[in-house]
Chain A
C-alpha cells in the first residue's frame, strides 16, 4: 500500500486545522485509516499534495537542506518529486478557439492538425464561456475532441473553456480527460462564468464568485470527478481589470488549480504593418474603463516586445508575486480564432445562436486582416514532463517547469540553481523549483541553451543575441494585496551570445547566500529594446513598447523562463 519511493514532505503545505485527514499532513501515512490513505495516495499522485497546495514556497514545512556535495534538490511547488534532468520538454498552447466560439471558425481537427504540424505536443480547446456555449457547445465539442485524440495519437488534446472570470478578464480552465470532463466543465460554466451569470462588473460579490469557481475546480479533483483541473489567467493586463489582489486571491483560493497567467498574449500577428494601418500587437489597444484597477499605469495596457506588461516589466507585477515567494507561472499561446494569411471562411448558412457552432469552414479568400497565428506557429509553452501524458503535462505546468518563446527563438533551455561547482547531469534545481541550502553556501545558476538549428515558421533560423539573469530578494507576503512592484528585483547579469550554432552554456554565481531570493532567465534576438519601466539601473535593455501597425513579431523575439527560488536556512 505504501508508495514506491521516499516522499520527503518538505514542500507540504502548512495546512489549516479544518482539513480532512487525507489532506492533513501532520498525520503520518501510517496513522491514517485505509480509506483516507487511499485518498491521500490519489491526491499525492495527482500532484495535489505538497507545495502544489501551498500558496508560497515559504509555507513549506521541514526542509531538506542541500549543502556541500551531499544534497538533494528542491522539488517544484507543483509537488512532483525528485526529478531534475531527463524531462521531455513538450511544447503546447492552452488557448485555442474553434467553431464553438462566436468569434472563431475552425474545426477542432483543423486546429489540432495545424498544432501538430507546427510541432506542438499538447493543446487545450478553450471556446468562450457563454449562455450558448454552456447550453450547447460545451457538450457538442467533446465528440470532436475525442475523435481528434484518436486520429492524432501523438498530440494531447485537452478540453477546456475560456472562462469569463467574474469581475475580471478571461482565463483558460481545463481538465484531465475522463468520464466527467464535460459534466465538470458544464457545471462550472453554468455556475461561475461571468457572462452566463452576468457577473462581469468589478464588485466584491463577483470577485467572490470567481474564488468560488476556482474552489469548485479543486473540489472536483478531490472528489475524483476529474483527475486534474488547471486555471491560467489570459491576457491579464489587456484591459486593466485583473487587479493585483484578485490575482493573489485566485492563487490562494486553490494553488493546485490556479497556477499562472499568460506572460505573452496571443494575436501576435495583429500588430503587423498593413494597408489599413494595422492594429496593436495582441490587440492590446484598450484604455482604462470603470472596471479597471485605478492603480495601473497606461503602460500596462500595451504589450512590450510582445509580452504582457505584468511579465515584461522587471520589478513589476509578476516579480512582486515571486518576491513574496508566491509561485505563479507564465505561458505563451496563440489565442487562435481566425488566422493571418489563411484561406478559409466560416461555413455558409451558419446560425451560431441556434446551433452553438458555426458550420464547418469552407475555402475562402486570403485573410490579410486577421491577427492570429496557428497554434505553434509563433508562440510556444514548453513544459518539462516526465512523459507524454495528460497527467505529466498537467504536473509539469503545476510545477512551473515551464519556459516560453516566440518565433522559435531557441531550441532548448536547461536552467538549474546549484550549489557552486556542482555540474552533475542529474542534480540542481530546475525551473519552478526551490533550492534549500545551508546559510553561507555558495550558489550559482547554470544556463544551457540549445540554439535554434532549423528554420522557424517564417523560414529563417533565429539568432539569440543575449541572455539576462534577473534576480530579486524574497521579502515574504505583502501587507497590501494590491502591490505590483518588487523594488529589489533587477537584471543582475547579461550574457552576449556569440556562437551561432550548438549549445551555449553560462553560469552566474550568487556567492555565499544568506538571504532568500529568486532568479529567472530571459533572452532576446536583440533587435528591439529600451530601458525598462523601472529605469536603466533595473533593466538597461528591456523589451520595447510595441507600436500598432509597426510591430513585426518576427523581428522582435524573446524567451522567458519561470523562476527558481533559493532559500538559505
Chain B
C-alpha cells in the first residue's frame, strides 16, 4: 500500500505494511532490523488493528519509504489493515512512532525543551494533570515512542519516581503471566 501525498513534502510517500505481528515488541523488532538504513527523514509507525485478527500493522513515511515496499509483501488478507495504517499516518491521526528524525538523540535524561528541539516531537503531555514546562527533565529510559494525535506527534509522559517525567510507555512492560 503506497500513498502519495504531495502536500507532505519530504514525506511524500507513505507506505502501509501488515505482516501480522501480534505484539508491539515484534513489530518494533522488525522495524529495527529493516528500516535503520532507510534515511534520516523516515517516520516509521506501528498501528493497532482489530481485523481480520488483532495485530500490529506498520506505516512508513519519507523519501526512502517506497523501498520498504520491496522488503516485504503484505499478504492479501492484511491489505486492508495496511491501507488503514497508511491512511492513519497520512492523516496524522494515529500511529506510534518507532523511528523518526532525531530518535537516536532520545537517550538518557533530557529536558522537555531538548526533546522538542530535536525536531520530530511536536508536544509533550503528562498524565494525571502533572505540569510540563520546557525545563522539566524527561527520563527517556532510551525508549521514546511518540504518537500521532490530531496532526501532531505527541509524547505522553507520566511522573517519574526521581522527579520530572518519563514516557508513558515503558520498555519492559510486565508480561501477562509473569509473577502475577
Contact = CB atoms under 8 A, between A and B. Distances in A.
Contacts of A550: 159, 161
A547 B180 contact: no
B127 A299 contact: yes
Interface string A511-532: 0000000000000000000110
A283 B174 contact: yes
B99 interface: no
Interface in A259-288: 266-267, 273, 277-280, 283, 285-288
Interface string B125-142: 001111000000000000
A525 B127 CA distance: 23
Interface stretch (A245-253, A290-298, A388-396): A290-298
B105 interface: no
Interface stretch (B32-40, B67-75, B165-173): B165-173
B129 A530 contact: yes
Given A278-B161, A545-B159, A288 B180 contact: no
A569 interface: no
B128 A299 contact: yes
Given A298-B127, A545-B127, A290 B179 contact: no
- Majority DSSP secondary structure for residues of B touching A: loop
A302 interface: yes
B179 A286 contact: no
A372 B179 CA distance: 9
Nearest to A282: B180
Interface stretch (B3-11, B46-54, B112-120): B46-54
B49 A283 contact: no
Given A371-B179, A545-B127, A202 B50 contact: yes
Given A103-B178, A202-B54, A299-B128, A547 B48 contact: no
Given A266-B180, A299-B128, A531-B129, A291 B173 contact: no
Contact of B176 (A201, A239, A298, A531): A239
A203 B160 CA distance: 36
B60 interface: no
A103 B129 contact: no
Nearest to B21: A290
Contacts of B49: 290
A287 B173 contact: yes
B48 A288 contact: yes
Contacts of B129: 530-531
Given A290-B22, A302-B158, A544 B48 contact: no
B54 A291 contact: yes
B56 interface: yes
Interface string A460-486: 000000000000000000000000000
A436 B55 CA distance: 49
A337 interface: yes
Given A286-B173, A286-B174, A289-B48, A545 B158 contact: yes
Contacts of A544: 128
A549 B127 contact: no
Given A337-B179, A530-B129, A545-B128, A290 B48 contact: yes
Given A371-B180, A530-B129, A285 B54 contact: no
A273 B180 contact: no
B23 A547 contact: no
B156 interface: yes
A203 B53 contact: yes
Contacts of B177: 102-103, 128
B102 to A, nearest CB: 22
Contact of B168 (A235, A267, A287): A287
Contacts of A292: 48
B58 to A, nearest CB: 12
A338 interface: yes
A370 interface: yes
B19 interface: no
Nearest to B163: A550
B24 interface: yes
A287 B161 contact: no
Interface in B82-122: none
- A103, A266, A273 — which one has the most chain B CB atoms within 10 A of its CB? A103
A548 interface: yes
Contacts of B53: 201, 203
Given A302-B127, A370-B179, A544-B128, A294 B169 contact: no
A539 interface: no
A530 B159 CA distance: 14
A95 to B, nearest CB: 10
Given A278-B161, A531-B129, A267 B24 contact: no
A324 interface: no
B168 A298 contact: yes
Contact of A298 (B56, B156, B180): B156
Contacts of A287: 24, 168-170, 173
Contacts of A128: 177
B98 to A, nearest CB: 13
A202 B22 CA distance: 12
Nearest to A369: B179
Contacts of A405: none
A371 B54 CA distance: 30
A531 B162 CA distance: 23
Contacts of B128: 299, 530, 544-545
A201 B23 CA distance: 12
A291 B174 CA distance: 16
Contacts of A277: 161
A227 interface: no
Interface of B: 22-24, 48-50, 53-56, 127-130, 156, 158-162, 168-170, 173-174, 176-180
26 contacts: A128-B177, A201-B53, A203-B53, A235-B180, A239-B176, A279-B174, A283-B179, A283-B180, A285-B173, A287-B168, A287-B169, A289-B23, A289-B48, A290-B48, A290-B49, A301-B168, A302-B127, A335-B180, A337-B180, A372-B180, A530-B128, A530-B129, A531-B129, A545-B128, A548-B161, A548-B170
Chain A to chain B: the 9 pairs with minimum beta-carbon distance, closest first:
A545-B128, A549-B161, A290-B54, A550-B161, A283-B174, A287-B169, A290-B48, A286-B173, A291-B54
Given A287-B24, A545-B130, A545-B159, 10 more contacts: A128-B177, A203-B53, A267-B180, A283-B179, A287-B173, A290-B50, A370-B179, A372-B180, A547-B160, A549-B161
Interface of A: 102-104, 128, 201-203, 235, 239, 266-267, 273, 277-280, 283, 285-292, 294, 298-299, 301-302, 335, 337-338, 370-372, 530-531, 544-545, 547-550
